[in-house]
Amino acid sequence: MAGFDVVKQPNQVRRHIGLAGQNATVDENLTGFENLRMVGLLNHLNKAYVVAKSRQLLEDFGLSDAAHRTATTYSGGMRRRLDLAAALVANPPILFLDEPTTGLDPQSRQDLWSIIEHLVEGGTTVLLTTQYLDEADRLAKQLVVLDHGKIIAEGTSAQLKTQMGTTVLALSFASTDDALRAKPLLADLSTHSANIEGTVIELTVEDGPKITADALRRIDAAAISLNGLALREPSLDDVFLNLTGHKAEDTLMGDGAPEDRHGRKARA
């Protein structure tokens, strides 16, 4: 890693990595500034640098006002940012983020996302694990999808999406019964199995316009009423569903292992 042997040169490796995660590991009894200073000193950086860098990070992450309050007074989003700041004190070229936005409100999530994007622009390699596939889609250049601890797909977000078919056809019915009746009629239109959720059937299809016309004819012939339809680009959720036959969240609930699916972002 970073040109060092993880077994033979553990401290060299530690000097080149930063680690932040879902359990923001900040010392609650220290202030934001003291947390960063402690981590800086334990990274064996010189004091003047640590003080300057800590101030700068607190400012960059919108924590200047709270710099001299103890972390007990911080909100969840602030802790997460402080945790990330602590991982950055030593300017690590490689950063590991373990589900950095899990449990955060949408605003804090957006804030963290832009911080991470900013870091990547600055040349940091970020390896992040996430259970939110939209997060992986937005942040990751290179993705590795894991299911039950096994790699099931690898590639860029675009590659994964193309790989599974070009379009998702969503058909919305008046009732669940109608949807259930329509499903067997439509099954063979999709290259993959048709997915039904409530009154909506989603088909992953190769040729959107043609299949749409086919589907409408069949539904009409069976005298089932249709409420609406939409054609859209597949999301990573569709990719995951397609690859595993179940949803990302189901896996999480199923075996309780949040690291089950990883979106990996790596700078080339």
Partner 1 sequence: MSTLPASTSTHSPLRWAVSDVLTIARRNLMTIVRIPTQMVFLIIQPIMFVILFRYVFGGVIKVPGNSYVNYLIPGILVQTTIFGSVGTAIGLAEDLQKGLIERFRALPMARLAVLAGRTVSDLFRNVLVLVIITGVGFLVGFRPGGGLVSYLQASLLMLIFAYCLSWGFAFIGLSAPNSEAAQAMTFPVIFPLTFASAIFVPVTSMPSWLQPFAINQPVSQTAIAVRGLMLGTAHGQSTWIALAWSFGAILVLAPLAVNRYRKTA
- Single out the residue of 226, 101, 97, 234 nearest to residue 173, CA to CA: 226
Among 25-33, 150-158, 173-181, 248-256, the segment contacting partner 1 (CB under 8 A): 25-33
- Closer CB to partner 1, 52 or 180, in the complex: 52
The one among 73, 75, 76, 91 contacting partner 1 by CB under 8 A: 91
Within positions 45 to 74, which residues make up the interface with partner 1, using CB under 8 A?
Answer: 45-46, 49, 52-53, 56, 60, 70
Burial 148-177 (b: 16+ CB within 10 A, else e): eeeeebeeebeebbeebbebbbbbbbeeee
Residue 146 binds partner 1 (CB under 8 A): no
**Distances 119 to 61, 100, 219 between C-alpha atoms, Å:** 12, 14, 50
44 binds partner 1 (CB under 8 A): yes
The answer to whether 75 and 83 have CB atoms below 8 angstroms apart is no
Please give the Cα distance from 147 to 69 (Å, whole number): 41
Asked if 213 is part of the footprint of partner 1 (rule: CB under 8 A), the reply reads no
CB of 82 to partner 1, least distance (A): 12
Any contact of residue 41 with partner 1 (CB under 8 A)? Answer: yes
Q: Any contact of residue 102 with partner 1 (CB under 8 A)?
A: no
Query: What residues contact 223, with CB distance under 8 A and at least 6 apart?
Result: none
194 backbone dihedrals φ, ψ, rounded to 5° = -80, 140
Contact between 53 and 40 under an 8 Å Cβ cutoff? The reply is: yes
Report how far apart, in Å, the C-alpha atoms of 71 and of each of 25, 26, 106 are.
11, 7, 21
34 interacts with partner 1 by CB under 8 A = yes
> Which residue number, 115 or 171, has a Cβ lying nearer to partner 1?
115
CB of 142 to partner 1, least distance (A): 23
Of all helices (H) and strands (E), which one includes residue 226?
strand 226-232
Distance between terminal CA atoms of the chain? 14
Shortest CB 42 distance to partner 1, Å: 4
Among 1, 5, 23, 246, which residue sits at the site for partner 1 (rule: CB under 8 A)?
Answer: 23
Residues with Cβ within 8 Å of residue 175, at least 6 apart in sequence: 199
Q: With CB under 8 A, what is the number of residues at the site for partner 1?
A: 34
> Could you tell me if 63 and 32 are in contact, meaning their C-beta atoms sit under 8 angstroms apart?
yes
**Binding of partner 1 at residue 3 (CB under 8 A)?**
no
- Please report whether residue 252 would count as binding partner 1 according to CB under 8 A: no
20 or 201, CB closer to partner 1? 20
**Interface positions with partner 1 (CB under 8 A):** 11-12, 14-15, 17, 19, 21, 23, 25, 27-30, 34, 38-39, 41-46, 49, 52-53, 56, 60, 70, 86, 90-91, 118-119, 122
